[in-house]
Amino acid sequence: MSNCREEHEHGGDHHHNHEHDHTDDIVPTIHHSLYQHIIFDQITTLNEAQGDSGRKIIEKTWAESDQLVPELQSDADEQLIINVPFTGQVKLHTILIRAPLDQTAPRLLKVFSNREDVDFDVASEMTPTQTFELSQFDGVQEVAVRRALFGNVRRLALFVEDNFGEETTRISYLAFKGDWLPIGRAPVNILYEAAARPSDHKVKGTAAYRRLDSTFNREG
């Protein structure tokens, strides 16, 4: 991210210093931002300690990415699942994530593309679209995906399987970069599978462990 800022500054014209001062910390990172293409009211998070905290960390703008609250914390254990739907077809480039510089930071992240049935049982049993080993990082960590695997995305499920040693995982910012196309411009394959009944699984937490509901059966 700092490299992007340096390129932006060095390529600037000294006659436009005021404009560059205003945008140096924003333009390189929000370029290709998918923020406006997220369906925020359909975001769901499993095993969150406080309701809607998963949605709230995604609702933060880049200018708010350094704010530590609101924060997503896991409840029953260190695992989290965050389901994020988009308004159209997405070609995902990068996942941006900020977490504390301690052992509560997510370490193993598994990402599933175009699935509506991802709960903890599904996430543990099926092969993810891509798996990432995250590092402990002071700031916003940019995680580049294999674009060939994420060129036709309508929704993402992010499974934080492990952290660096604590019982609770904490994340303060989550965002996405890529290209967007409206629905109908290209084919999209979404796997529609019946989610298992809640009684078939152990419940992590109580009200905080929310399963996917009929909201996801409606298009965009």
CA distance 220 to 114: 13
CA distance 171 to 86: 21
For the CA atoms of the chain, what is the radius of gyration?
Answer: 18
Q: Most distant CA pair in the chain: distance in Å?
A: 65
Any idea what the CATH number is for the domain that residue 181 is in? 2.60.120.470
Whole-number pLDDT of residue 32? 87
Domain count, the chain: 2
Per-residue pLDDT of 181-192, as tens digits, reads: 876 655 445 554
Whole-number pLDDT of residue 185? 54
Whole-number pLDDT of residue 3? 41
CA distance 220 to 207: 26
Q: Domain for residue 108, yes or no?
A: yes
Whole-number pLDDT of residue 80? 98
Tokens encoding 192? 């529609």
For residue 68, what are the β-bridge partners? none
Which of 121, 185, 194 has the alpha carbon at shortest distance from 159?
121
Whole-number pLDDT of residue 209? 38
Whole-number pLDDT of residue 200? 39
* DSSP state letter for 128: P
Whole-number pLDDT of residue 184? 62
Which of 87, 89, 83, 101 has the alpha carbon at shortest distance from 172?
101
Stretches in the chain below the pLDDT threshold 70: 1-31, 183-220
Q: What is the pTM of this model?
A: 0.72
Provide the residue range defining the domain that includes 27: 1-31
> Do residues 169 and 71 both lie within one domain?
yes
Query: Given the structure tokens 């990432």, which residue do they identify?
Result: 132
> Do residues 159 and 75 both lie within one domain?
yes
Whole-number pLDDT of residue 94? 96
Is the link from the previous residue into 198 a cis peptide, with omega within 30 of 0?
no
